Amino acid sequence: MDWGQILNSAAGELLSPVTAAYALAAIGISVHFGYAGLLNFGQAGFMAIGAYAFVVPILSFDAPLWAGFLSAIVFSIIFALLLGVPTLRLRADYLAIVTIASAEIVRYTVSTTALTDVTGGAAGLSGFNSGFNAINPFPSGTYGFGPFTYTENQLWVRVFGWSLVILASVLVFLLMRSPWGRVVKGIREDEDAVRSLGKNVYAFKMQALILGGVLGSLAGIVYVLPRAVQPANYGTTLTFFIWTMLLLGGAATVFGPIVGAMIFATLLTLSDGILRGLISADIITFISGTQAGQIRFMIIGAVLMALVVFRPQGIFGNKKELSFNV
């Protein structure tokens, strides 16, 4: 059993672009749920919208990179509006069901064989990364040390992803200190009280939904930058994992989503490495490598249950800040 390699690959997950994408998506849900009290169970849908709206213009229309980003943002705003109009006036569990259903509609749509020419069907899309790598400011070479050794393109995608995470965190931090943020948090605590102060609750909720959704779509872009787009990734499970990360770190906090995503990704890789190591060393003989992968997801489920019951505020959270009461 090679502990060095197991620890190395787990440490590598700390700063991987996938972790950055998870963190961004978790910040998005933090805006929705942590600050505004909206139950968005469709973050995977926002990520899919971001990924496809970014990639399709580049592949189908030869659009420049900035147009891809713009289209991702525009489409996620439209998606948020579509979600919000029917549901934001209703009780919170309706938003939960509608968001989860919409995310599935998005996934079915991008993976249907009828749209294979545009979206690549179930096989997804690839070969769109050259434009992003072309604006890489780092000269070619090897950077970093130990588990954090990268080629120039790997470094570029990490710097880009984590810069977005930091920007998003700062933006959300500043917004939530602003008068706008106080109203939004007020809505979370008591919608009727805020309404009685003459605030347009519906508009504030919609703005929060859009903000978190745009962060989700940016997460979708970061998620696909170093890899291919695969529609099967954007299932409901992805949303639930991001919720687990958010609740792990703490919902209405600045560092919660980031630390939650880092812990989640690292532990996932670490437990996989350990289990597979034990299997290949013949210490565990009654399960296969595939099944070792499944055990980790059982652990995620159990951790999610335990977290919500015993420490709903997560690692950083303040119990008073977190309101599960909708």
Partner 1 sequence: MPLMYRRASPVVTTIAATVASMIMGIMLAVLMGLSPASAATSPSPEPSPSGDFTSTFTIGGLIRDGDTPIEGVEVQVEGDGFDEVGVTGEDGRWTVPVPGPGAYTATLLPDTLPEGIVPRDPENITRDVTLGTTNTVNVLFPTGEGTVVENNIADTILTRFIYGLNFGLLLALGAIGISLIYGTTKLNNFAHGEMVTFGAVIFFFFGTVIGLPLYVSIPIALALSAFTGYAQDAWLHKPLRRRGVGLVQAMIVTIGLSILARYVILFFLGGNIYTIDTGLTATIDIGPATITVASLVSMGVSILMLILVGLFLTRTRIGKATRAVSDNASLAAASGINVDRIIRIVWILAATLTGLSGILYGVFRQVNWSMGFQILLLLFAAVTLGGLGSAFGALVGALIIGVVTEVSTVWIPNDLRYAVALIILILVLLVRPQGVLGRKERVG
* AA identity, residue 32: H
Place of tokens 């919720």: 243
Residue 308 binds partner 1, judged by CB under 8 A: yes
CB contact set of 3 (below 8 Å; sequence gap of 6+): 277
Q: What is the DSSP string of 132-150?
A: HHHT--SPSSEE--GGG-E
Least distance in Å: CB of 237 to partner 1?
7
Residue 324 binds partner 1, judged by CB under 8 A: yes
CA distance 273 to 278: 8
Name which of 126 and 136 has its Cβ closer to partner 1. Answer: 126
Q: Which of 269, 271, 279, 314 binds partner 1 (CB under 8 A)?
A: 269
CB contact set of 319 (below 8 Å; sequence gap of 6+): 312, 313
Contacts with partner 1 in 179-208 (CB under 8 A)?
none
Contacts with partner 1 in 209-248 (CB under 8 A)?
226-228, 230, 232-233, 235-238, 240-241, 243-244, 247
Contacts with partner 1 in 125-164 (CB under 8 A)?
126-127
Residue 6 binds partner 1, judged by CB under 8 A: no
Least distance in Å: CB of 178 to partner 1?
26
Closest CA to 51 of 306, 324, 233: 233
Q: Which stretch binds partner 1 (CB under 8 A): 122-130, 144-152, 166-174, 255-263?
A: 122-130
Contacts with partner 1 in 273-292 (CB under 8 A)?
286-291
Residue 28 near residue 87 (C-beta atoms within 8 A): no
Q: Which stretch binds partner 1 (CB under 8 A): 50-58, 63-71, 94-102, 211-219?
A: 94-102
CA distance 227 to 64: 19
Least distance in Å: CB of 142 to partner 1?
20
Name which of 67 and 303 has its Cβ closer to partner 1. Answer: 303
CA distance 313 to 206: 25
